[in-house]
């Protein structure tokens, strides 16, 4: 078998997209889950630092390392624009119909699934016993921005940098492999579930022309998971103020 190792510049987009996605997630995870961040927040803020500030800080670190930094690199090196990474309106009717229908189905599913003891042990990630309107706002905002960065990295930068060069199913396979791997810290079951979910999100992004269905659906999953778990956690409650 004769294999050529000569570099083909046409493969720069997928190579850079894969590298940026991997490095962005690795750096994010190394910092967000580091012992020094945990120790610093615990020392400065006590129990509040671990229960509230740490999970919120982790999400904003995700915005930086999976959103801002990869975006700067990709837009600086490659000739593609925001539009070509699926940051566009796309098919608005298709996007609206799927966003509403899929989000409703996912919220309904979480209404039952998020009550399980294993879910209550992990969600909401903010482990405050008393939830104020201010905390609900900050938790929701952190999830929304984090998932915008996350979806743009996977369903925008990574997916389309591969699609412009590779066969669509090869591009989707690469996307799912990396997407599923990022969920391994949350357990095998969640990583397995991300495979069909990720395939669906890739296809909907391609057909709609925008990342919005994936982002809205992911936000619906995250927030309903958090707030259904909050509703049924006997150790947590929402108060006015």
Confidence class for position 5, pLDDT limits 50, 70, 90: low
Task: Return the pLDDT at 6.
Answer: 64
Within a domain: 8: no
CB atoms < 10 A from the CB of 35, how many? 7
Angle at 93 between CA 209 and CA 221, to 5 degrees: 75
Question: What is the CB-side half-sphere exposure of residue 232 using CA atoms within 13 A?
Answer: 19
Task: Return the pLDDT at 122.
Answer: 86
Query: Residue 219 belongs to what domain range?
Result: 13-238
Contacts of 16 (CB under 8 A, 6+ apart): 73, 74, 77, 78, 161
| C-alpha–C-alpha distance, residues 212 and 150, integer Å | 12
Confidence class for position 177, pLDDT limits 50, 70, 90: very high
- What is each CA distance from 231 to 149, 209, 224, 238, in whole angstroms? 27, 36, 10, 8
| Least confident segment among 9-23, 91-105, 157-171, 188-202 | 188-202
| Under 8 Å between Cβ of 15 and 162 | no
Within a domain: 148: yes
Please give the tally of structural domains in the chain: 1
Task: Return the pLDDT at 117.
Answer: 85
Within a domain: 109: yes
Task: Return the pLDDT at 2.
Answer: 62
Would you say residue 119 has pLDDT above 90? no
Within a domain: 166: yes
Task: Return the pLDDT at 143.
Answer: 98
3-class DSSP assignment, residue 126: coil
Within a domain: 234: yes
Within a domain: 4: no
| Under 8 Å between Cβ of 99 and 217 | yes
Percent of the chain whose predicted confidence (pLDDT) is above 90:
80
Contacts of 9 (CB under 8 A, 6+ apart): none
Question: What is the CB-side half-sphere exposure of residue 160 using CA atoms within 13 A?
Answer: 25
| Under 8 Å between Cβ of 25 and 66 | yes
How many residues would you count in the chain? 241
Would you say residue 1 has pLDDT above 60? no
Confidence class for position 193, pLDDT limits 50, 70, 90: confident
């Amino acid at each position: 078998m004769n294999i050529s190792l000569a570099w083909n510049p046409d493969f720069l987009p997928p190579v850079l997209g894969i590298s940026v996605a991997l490095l962005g997630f690795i750096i994010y995870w190394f910092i967000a889950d580091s012992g020094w961040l945990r120790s610093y927040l615990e020392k400065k803020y006590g129990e509040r630092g671990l229960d509230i500030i740490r999970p919120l800080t982790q999400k904003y670190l995700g915005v930086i390392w999976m959103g801002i930094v990869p975006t700067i690199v990709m837009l600086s090196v490659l000739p593609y624009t925001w539009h070509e990474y699926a940051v566009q309106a796309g098919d608005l009717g298709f996007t609206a119909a799927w966003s509403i229908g899929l989000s409703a189905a996912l919220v309904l599913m979480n209404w039952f699934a998020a009550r399980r003891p294993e879910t209550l042990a992990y969600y909401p990630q903010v482990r405050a016993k008393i939830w104020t309107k201010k905390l609900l706002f900050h938790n929701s905002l952190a999830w929304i921005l984090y998932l915008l960065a996350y979806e743009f990295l996977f369903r925008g930068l990574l997916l389309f940098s591969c699609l412009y060069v590779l066969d669509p199913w090869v591009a989707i396979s690469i996307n799912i492999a990396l997407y599923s791997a990022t969920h391994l810290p949350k357990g095998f079951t969640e990583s397995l579930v991300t495979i069909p979910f990720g395939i669906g999100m890739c296809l909907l992004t391609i057909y709609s022309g925008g990342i919005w269905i994936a982002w809205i659906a992911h936000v619906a999953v995250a927030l309903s998971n958090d707030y259904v778990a909050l509703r049924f956690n006997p150790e947590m409650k929402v108060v006015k103020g």
